[in-house]
Amino acid sequence: MKGSALIVSEIFIHLAQSVSYLEEIFFVVLMVRIVASFFPPRTEGLWNRLAGFSVRLTEPVLAPIRRRIPLMGMLDLSPLIGFFLVDIAGFLLNRIFLFLARF
């Protein structure tokens, strides 16, 4: 019984680490999207593919925020709120998985 508890504990620890990694990857992709909004790609190439990829990956998070939070002039606050919400969700998931790893 003790061996299976150790395996379950390790699984939860790895899940907590995976949440941290995914959160960091999402932040990088969101930063690419923010930079691409200031410097849009003009021709087909790597920057165009990266910008498109970042939009496809972050839009499911940012679209609901954008629907609820109006633009402030020409300023879109959804990426900032997205950073904040993903950080909170990552922190909570991390704590839950680490808590479950102790049992």
Q: What per-residue confidence (pLDDT) applies to 98?
A: 93
Residue 94 belongs to what domain range? 2-101
Sign, CA dihedral 85-10-57-46, equals: positive
pLDDT tens, residue by residue, 39-84: 988 888 999 999 999 999 999 999 999 999 887 888 889 999 999 9
Number of domains in the chain: 1
Q: What per-residue confidence (pLDDT) applies to 29?
A: 97
- DSSP-derived letter for residue 70 is -
Nearest-angstrom CA–CA distance, 22 and 97? 15
CB count within 10 Å of CB 11 equals: 13
* pLDDT over 80 at 25, yes or no: yes
**Closest to 66 in 3D by CA, of 76, 75, 57:** 76
